[in-house]
Structures are given as C-alpha cells and as structure tokens.
Amino acid sequence: MGKSLLSGLATVVLTGGALVGTILPAQADAPTTLYVRQNPTANCSDQYPGTLAQPFCTIGAAAAVVTAGQTVDVGGGNYRERVTIPTSGTPEQPVTFFASDVATLIGATAGFVIDGQHDVVLKNLRANGSTSALPGLDLRNSSRITIQGGNFAMDTSSTAPAVRLAGVTGSTLKQITASGPTLNAGIIIDAASSDVLVKSVNVLSSAGYRTPSDGVGVRVDGPRVSILDSKVSGFTAAAVAIGVGAVDTVVANNQIDGGPGHGVHNNGGTGTAITNNTIKDRCRDGIRVDGASSGVSVQNNVLITNGFFNQGYCDPAYLDGVEIGVYGGAVGKTVVDYNNAHHYNNDSPEIYAWNTRMSLAAFRAASGQAAHDRETGQAKDNIDSANSAAPGYPTLDRAGWPRIDDPAIANTGAGPLTYADRGAVEAVRAPVVSFDVALNLQAQSVTVDASASTPGLSPIASYQFSFGDGSTVTQTSPTASHTYTKPDLYVVNVIVTGTDGRSAAHSRLISVLRPTGTVGLRALSNGRYVSYEKSHGLRPNEAEPNTIAQFDLADAGNGKVALFSRAAGRYVAVSQFDLATLTADSLVVNVREAFTLVRNSDGTISLQTPTTNQYVTADLSGALPLSASRSTIGTWEKFLLVVVPDANRSLKAKVNGRFVSADGAGTKPLIASAPTASLWERFDVVDLGNGQVGLLARVNNHYVSADGAGTKPLIANGPTASTWERFIIVRNSDGTVSFKATINNKYVSADGAGSKPLIANGPSISTWEKFTLG
C-alpha cells in the first residue's frame, strides 16, 4: 500500500489496482488579529477563538495564546490585571499588542511584564495606579522590544520605578509617559541592558517635587543608551542620572524642567554626549560631571537659572549649585563648549565649577574649556551658534524640525553646519502678525489691515481673515473688509502664513454697535466743537463739526451710550491708567466706554463716566483735553448735541424761494425774505432727545422760540431750549422739511409768502409750511 499527502486536503490510497480517495477537512489559517473587549454585549470569553464576534475578556488570555506575526487588538476600558507576555516574535513577524481605544491596566499590581522574550511590540497601552513594588512596565532579559505610546503611572504608595529595564538589549521606548507623585524613578535601565533608545518620552513627578532623596527621572547604568527629544520634570537626585557602567550614552534634545536635584548628572559614565539640551530651574547643578567620568562632552546646551534661584521647592543646602560643574576625577577629562548659561537676572560671577564654583572667565582659565560658551539668557543668542560636530549632535531638533539658517543672524557655530542652534529647539522665526482695525458704524463694517505684519524666515504667502460671524477670507493681499448683518461683539482673527508653511495668528475683539446718529459735541463753555487728534486727545477747539469733530452715538445697553470717534475709528473711553483722562482708542464697548447721557432742562447734555461717576468737563480755553473730573454739572460740563448733517444749515421757504433770516440778530422775528444765506440765515439743528430738536441761530447762539405758543411770530431769542423752543422735524417725500412746534402741535408757516414773519400756526403741511435745508 502506498500513501501520499496532498496539500492536507486528501489521502490517496492505491489498493488492488483501484484508486480510492478520502477527503479530509482543511485546517484554517491562524487569524492575524486577536481581539480583547470588555463590553458584555460583545459576548467576550477567555476561551478561544478571540474573534471580534467572540473576543477575549482579558488581555492575559490573549497573551497566553498569541503567536509570532499576530496582533492583539485591545478595546477600551479598565482591565484589573497584571499581564505577562510569554511569547516571542521574529524581526519580520513580531508579536504586537495595541489599544484601539483607551485601554488601562488598573489595580494594586497593574502593569505589563515581558521576561525572556524578543520581538514584541506594545502600542498605546496604559498601566495606572500600582501600589506595589512592581513596575508599571517591567522588561527583563529580553531583546528587540518596542514600547510606543502609553502611560505608566504609579500610586503614591508604590516604591517601584514606573518603567524598569533589566538585561534588555536593542529595544526602544518611544512616546511614553512615566509618572507618579512620589516616584523613586521614572525609567531605570540597568547595567545589563544595552543599545536602548529612549525617545520622545515624558517623565515627571506629577505632584510637584516630593520624590525620595535618591529619586531620578531616567537612570542609565548600561552601555549605548540614547535619551532623545524627551521631557523630564521633578526628582530629588537628578532628572537624568548616568552611572558607572554607562558607556557612550547620548543625552540630546531634551527639555529638563524644574526639580530639586541636578538636571543631568554624569557620575562615572564614560563617553557620554550631553548635547543640545535645554535645562532650567533645577535646584542643584544644571549639568554635573563627576566621579570616574571620562570622555564626556557637554556642548550646545542652554542652561537657565539652575542652582538655587529662590525656587520655593529648593533646599537651602543647595546654595552651591551652578549651571555647569565638573568635579573630581572628571576634571581634565570633560569637554565643555558652545553652551549658553545664565544663572540670575543679572550676570553672576559663579555659574560654573571646576571643582569649585567660579565665573565663566575663571572656568576658561582653569580648564582650557568653554571658549565659545556664553553667559546669556537671551533666546537670540541660541541661534546659529552651535557646534554641529559635537558628539551626539542631533540633525533634527526636539520637534523634528531640520536645522535652518536665519539670514538675520550671523553664523558663529562650528562643524559642517555653522548655523545650528543651541538648546533643544531650533529657533525658527515665524511671521509676526500685526494688524489695525478700522470700524465704520454707519456702514456696520470693518476693514482689517495686516500690512504691518512681518515675515519669518520665508516671505508671507497668505493672509487669512476671520471676522467672527462665520465669514473667513484667505488671500495674498493684507487688507480685507467685511460688513456685518447685526450688531454684536465679534472676534477678528488674522493668520499670516509664510511660504514655508509656518504661520502665526492674532485676534482682537470689536464691538459693532448700531449708531443712533452722528453728532458734534459743542461745548457750552466756549461754543467750540470737541475734536479728536491723536497727538492732543479730545479738545473743544473746532468752529465746525468737521471730520475730526464728528461722533457716532450708539446704544451701549443698560441705558448707556457709546461715543464713537469717526476720526479715530475708536470708541471714547475712560483711560485705564488715569480715570480722569479720556481717550479714543477702544475697539470694544465695555464698562470704560459706556457713558450715562444726562439730558439737562436747558436742552444741553452732560456725560457721566462709567467708572467714577464724574462728569466730563471742557476747559474754557479749548487748549486742554477733556477730562472726567467734576462731581456736579456746571456750564463747563454741558454740551449741545448738534446733528452733523444738519449743522450750519439755511432754511429756504418753498413758497417764495427766500431764505429764513434771524433779522436783527434775535431782536426781530424770523422772516423768509433774504435772497441769499449769510450769517443771519444760518442755523444749527440741536438734538434735544425724544425726537425733538432745537434751531440755534448762529448769528446770536440763541434758540428759535415759538413765542406765545403759536400766537406770536418765531424769534431767535431763547437762551436755552425750554418748552417754547422745541420742534419736531418732518421730512417730506419731496425732499423738503417741515417743523412742528411741540408747544401747540402746529407747523411753522411762512405766512404771507414771505411778507410776514414765520409763525407756528399751520394746522397741516402745505406749500407755506415746507422748507429746503441748504
């Protein structure tokens, strides 16, 4: 009998010359993905198969059966377990665990363990709140392990590091967070570990600086470990500690912030490159090299206010701290150059140490090092000044940007690129947004001019204008206008983008209020109109309500009014620095811009300030700016609201084409008899409120009065606007106007077609009661 296997599908047997075939069931290929879900509706089970239809309930159950090339997809939720991964992959087919949602191990022993394995990947998994002596991430005797993303946070009571590597080689920790309120250590890499990359991690003691006295952020005791592009904050002993067994360690592009201990402490490590880090606000030395250290390079770092600098969390025992210190056996075996260091607000003589604290100049003399170091805290001194040939020099900065030459800064660096920057971040000048806003209340529009914006390293390519009502315009020109459909408070935002894609933005609030009229403020103190000039402010010095003496009145709500200077394109406001000073520099109507308009019985108005309730006063001379400094209303605190379109107007009677004249300068009745309009025939229309106006004769500055309640002719002899001097303007469809005296509700009539004085006795509007404003 002969036997052969065909693709695992059939057994073929040759018997007595006859061919007999027996079909066997095919074996299914192993799934590429195993699923873990906690949702009961997912029908989870810790028995095979781990499909999406029937997922595992726990991560540990999937870990027990996963094989090389498979991926475990962990859904969101809290998993109360400590997961050990007992399986290895291959370089081509690793074992992969990843969280497709926020998945967190919790509980007293929460954490992941990989012991004796290789080619395992963990992505975006979390282990929080362990209270035991077990790390949140425990890697032992393993190789080619990749941990990417995720958070490993320890409870206050835990004595373990957040992450521990023991006997781990050729592995990567990337974009993880290791944290805890009282961490003994964030990440520990022991002497048996080597060739480990720690990149873009965040290590912090999350509740201030209450770490144990020997607490470290990242500790390295093995060879060829690189700590790159990371951030470390807190820790009592050091943010980064390099031990005796560490060889060829690279600490580059890291941001190390405040904490009680050293920034970077190289204590016996050899061949360490401490390059392009930014270290600030450490209580002890920013960078300390001591013990049996040798072959250490400290270059291109930026150090600011390290060593005791009045930080509240510093122990006064650390008063000997410096920015860069070289001590003991490291003296003579350490290269220091191209660093920027700044200890205090003013230059300090002791920011370096060569066994003892000393100035930068003394350090140079004692060590022969630091020829290109600078004592400076200015960011501009970091630019284009690093040594690109320094050991561990990173070609990209912490944010992943390439080195860029700033043409505005002289290149003072060394190496292949003389324009590399010092510190962790390459300073790249983005555009600077600067724009002016011109409001037009009458048109309910705004014009935004961003032509004062300046480019960064590259020319400006576009301007984006957002007007706060959903309207956005992107264009190459720096000026844009927009009309609003309703009054409101809006945010105007401008984004300027360069040809290199870098951009900057700036916003301003504007109040677009609906104007109730355009007026001139004629000071009763001197008969002059209030004007606005940037160099002189608000002054009563103009004979006419010309372009610099016109204001839009607007409703500011709550019974208040806003005054909008058309000359300034801004609202009048009480100065925030001097409550007696008035400015016209505000784009937003708030408390300082909302005035109480007081209608006085004589037809004048007064303005009461919103912040001090003082009244605005106008100096008699007109030379001094208006001030908000009077507690009561007198002559100097009174103004006439002259309607600008109706200022200095003549009245021509339609019935005879003659001009109305204040004959005799107020000693005779008004009569429509003048063939031309001279001073006697000129009037200002004064807003008296409630839709009423007064006619102020320019020849004598007296109001036209309906004397005798309409039984006597009109005469310009009213010193104030009382009951007899009030009229309502009626604007007729033919372009003429008529005046109704409020004292008797009769219309002003050119009685006798100009042969008789004007009198308010017309019961209705006919030709005799119509006038043209000229």
Q: 3-state secondary structure string, 485-499?
A: CCCEEEEEEEEEEEC
Whether residues 663 and 606 share a domain: the answer is no
Please give the residue range of the domain that contains residue 735: 648-773
Whether residues 636 and 653 share a domain: the answer is no
Residue 317 has pLDDT above 80, yes or no: no
Average pLDDT over residues 622-630: 86
Structure confidence by residue, pLDDT tens digits, 543-570: 999 999 999 999 999 999 999 999 999 9
Whether residues 504 and 528 share a domain: the answer is no
Is pTM beyond 0.75 here?
Answer: no
CB 229 within 8 A of CB 250: no
What gap in Å lies between CA 186 and CA 180, rounded to an integer? 8
Structure confidence by residue, pLDDT tens digits, 583-619: 899 999 999 999 999 999 998 999 999 888 999 998 8
What confidence tier does 111 reach under pLDDT thresholds 50, 70, 90?
very high
Whether residues 598 and 520 share a domain: the answer is yes
What gap in Å lies between CA 445 and CA 513, rounded to an integer? 10
Residue 391 has pLDDT above 50, yes or no: yes
Residue 549 within any structural domain of the chain: yes
Strands, E assignment, 386-528: 436-440, 445-449, 460-466, 472-475, 479-483, 488-498, 503-512, 515-523
Residue 145 within any structural domain of the chain: no
What confidence tier does 180 reach under pLDDT thresholds 50, 70, 90?
confident
Whether residues 522 and 620 share a domain: the answer is yes
- 748: β partners: 760
CB 38 within 8 A of CB 57: yes
Whether residues 703 and 756 share a domain: the answer is yes
Residue 461 within any structural domain of the chain: yes
Q: Give residue 407's pLDDT.
A: 87
CB 722 within 8 A of CB 602: yes
Residue 128 within any structural domain of the chain: no
Residue 440 within any structural domain of the chain: yes
Residue 4 has pLDDT above 70, yes or no: no
Which has more confidence, 39 or 421? Answer: 421
- 238: β partners: 216, 262
Strands, E assignment, 499-567: 503-512, 515-523, 529-533, 537-542, 551-557, 560-565
Instruction: Give the amino acid at 596.
Output: T
Whether residues 523 and 629 share a domain: the answer is yes
What gap in Å lies between CA 467 and CA 483, rounded to an integer? 9
The owner of tokens 């006085």 is: 600
Residue 587 within any structural domain of the chain: yes
CB 62 within 8 A of CB 52: no
Long-range CB contacts for residues 751-755, cutoff 8 Å, separation at least 24: 753/653, 753/655, 753/656, 754/653, 754/655, 754/656, 754/658, 754/671, 754/672, 754/673
Structure confidence by residue, pLDDT tens digits, 733-749: 999 999 999 999 999 99
What confidence tier does 5 reach under pLDDT thresholds 50, 70, 90?
very low
Residue 541 within any structural domain of the chain: yes
Structure confidence by residue, pLDDT tens digits, 492-531: 999 999 998 989 999 999 999 999 989 999 999 898 999 9
Q: Which CATH number characterizes residue 569's domain?
A: 2.80.10.50
- 491: β partners: 509
How many distinct structural domains can be found in the chain?
3
- Residue at which a domain ends, from 592, 617, 643: 643
- Residue at which a domain ends, from 456, 478, 509: 509
Residue 42 has pLDDT above 80, yes or no: no
With a pLDDT cut of 70, the percent of the chain lying above it is 93
Whether residues 525 and 491 share a domain: the answer is no
What gap in Å lies between CA 472 and CA 539, rounded to an integer? 39
**DSSP classification of residue 360:** H
What confidence tier does 26 reach under pLDDT thresholds 50, 70, 90?
very low
Whether residues 521 and 635 share a domain: the answer is yes
Q: Give residue 319's pLDDT.
A: 65
Q: Give residue 290's pLDDT.
A: 97
Q: Judging by DSSP bridges, how do beta strands 324-326 and 352-354 pair with one another?
A: parallel
Average pLDDT over residues 652-659: 92
Whether residues 578 and 605 share a domain: the answer is yes
Residue 752 within any structural domain of the chain: yes
What gap in Å lies between CA 192 and CA 168, rounded to an integer? 7
Residue 19 has pLDDT above 50, yes or no: no
CA 538 to chain centre: 34
- Residue at which a domain ends, from 459, 489, 509: 509
Whether residues 497 and 557 share a domain: the answer is no
The owner of tokens 């290269």 is: 335
Whether residues 599 and 501 share a domain: the answer is no
